[in-house]
Amino acid sequence: MGINGISSGYYPTGYANSKTTKTTSGADFSNQINSIAGNAGKGHIVYMKTDDMLFSGGNGTGLSYYIKYAENVAEDDPIVIAKGVDENGNDFEQTIHINDINPKSATIVEMRALEAYTGVEKKNGFSSLPLSAGNMGLNDRRNFMDMFEKTISDLTTLNSQKAAAYYRYSMQAYWDFMSSK
């Protein structure tokens, strides 16, 4: 019998918990969850942003990295170094020439470098990149300009005009970058 959604011993068909698992500590529970998810023994690395970093962060795939300017670079050829761990937990280091980034075929790391280099303003905790970039792995390439257009279209359909305007602003910053090359 249930009162306002709270049930007491009654489970509709298909909702009963047929298996119970006992744990004695949070660590045991964590190991069980990681084992189920295929992550047993793996941890996650998070890079804390320091003053010399242009970017520090990651996404839901496990990709975690930071970006810094390379040393002794020419002003007309800005270069950054990205270091971190990919979605499989493997260390990586990439040298990225900012002028070579093409937002129509870029990785998430390249776009984060470009975002930092161009100084695209992040408003209210929003990323200047479309939210669909959150599922990209280290070497995945996507057309970010198409992703912006879809995001703006979706936000317009949802009548979220302020968010759509923010992504229009962000997209324009990347169009301006491409036009200046």
* Cα–Cα dist 133/165, whole Å: 18
In Å, what is the CA distance from 120 to each residue of 24, 69, 128? Answer: 48, 17, 7
Q: Is residue 1 part of a domain?
A: no
Instruction: Give domain status of residue 67, yes or no.
Output: yes
- Report pTM: 0.73
DSSP H helical ranges for 65-121: 108-118
| Secondary structure (3-state) at 106 | strand
pLDDT single digits (tens) 59-86:
888 899 999 999 988 888 999 999 999 9
**Residue 131 falls inside a structural domain:** yes
125 located within any domain: yes
Domains identified in the chain, total number: 1
Token pair, residue 101, equals 């980034």
Specify the pLDDT at position 31: 53
113 within domain boundaries:
yes
Q: What is the residue-level pLDDT of the chain in tens, covering all 181 positions?
A: 444 444 444 434 433 343 444 444 455 554 554 444 554 445 667 777 888 899 999 888 889 999 999 998 888 899 999 999 999 999 999 999 999 999 999 999 999 999 999 988 887 767 889 988 989 999 999 999 999 999 999 999 999 999 999 999 999 999 999 998 7
**Domain enclosing residue 121, as ranges:** 53-179
Give the angle subtended at the CA of 86 by the CAs of 60 and 41, to the nearest 5°: 80
Q: Is residue 14 part of a domain?
A: no
Task: Report if residue 87 sits inside a domain.
Answer: yes
**Sheet arrangement for strand 91-97:** 53-58, 64-69, 79-85, 91-97
Would you say 82 and 109 are in contact if contact means Cβ atoms under 8 Å apart?
yes
Residue 125 is predicted with a pLDDT of 67
